[in-house]
Amino acid sequence: MDVKTKKDLAVDFINAIRSMDPTELNALILREAGEDLAQFFLTYSANLIQRDPSRVLENTSSLMLMGYLIRMNEEHGSGRPSGVSQGWARA
């Protein structure tokens, strides 16, 4: 049996999301994240990009990694990641 790497799983997930019907994708977002979290990420992303528009690609990569780390944090239920001070998520 082939064991998929984290990268393989991420690529599969991104490909599935990219091929989803927009209505189905929106329903998934609302069901799994909710309107409040979706709005938070929209605001956070807009603020990040407005601060330095020339770094859009770097910021996009950082946002994707942040999403991954948030998910890992949720799965491990550890609260705030070690080494991170309060106020670390600013919108």
Compute the mean pLDDT over every residue in the chain, rounded to the nearest whole number.
84
The whole domain housing 13 covers 1-32
Whether 27 and 59 share a structural domain: no
Residues 53-63: tens digit of each pLDDT: 899 888 888 88
Q: What share of residues in the chain are helix, strand, coil (percent, to 5)?
A: 75, 0, 25
pLDDT at 53: 87
Q: Is residue 47 part of a domain?
A: yes
Q: Give CA torsion, residues 76, 80, 84, 86, to 10 deg.
A: 170
Q: Is 50 exceeded by the pLDDT of residue 91?
A: no
Whether 22 and 39 share a structural domain: no
Q: 5: number of CA atoms within 13 Å, CB side? A: 3
Residues 62-71: tens digit of each pLDDT: 888 888 888 8
The two tokens of residue 63 are: 């946002």
Whether 67 and 56 share a structural domain: yes
Taking residues 38-49, report their average pLDDT: 90
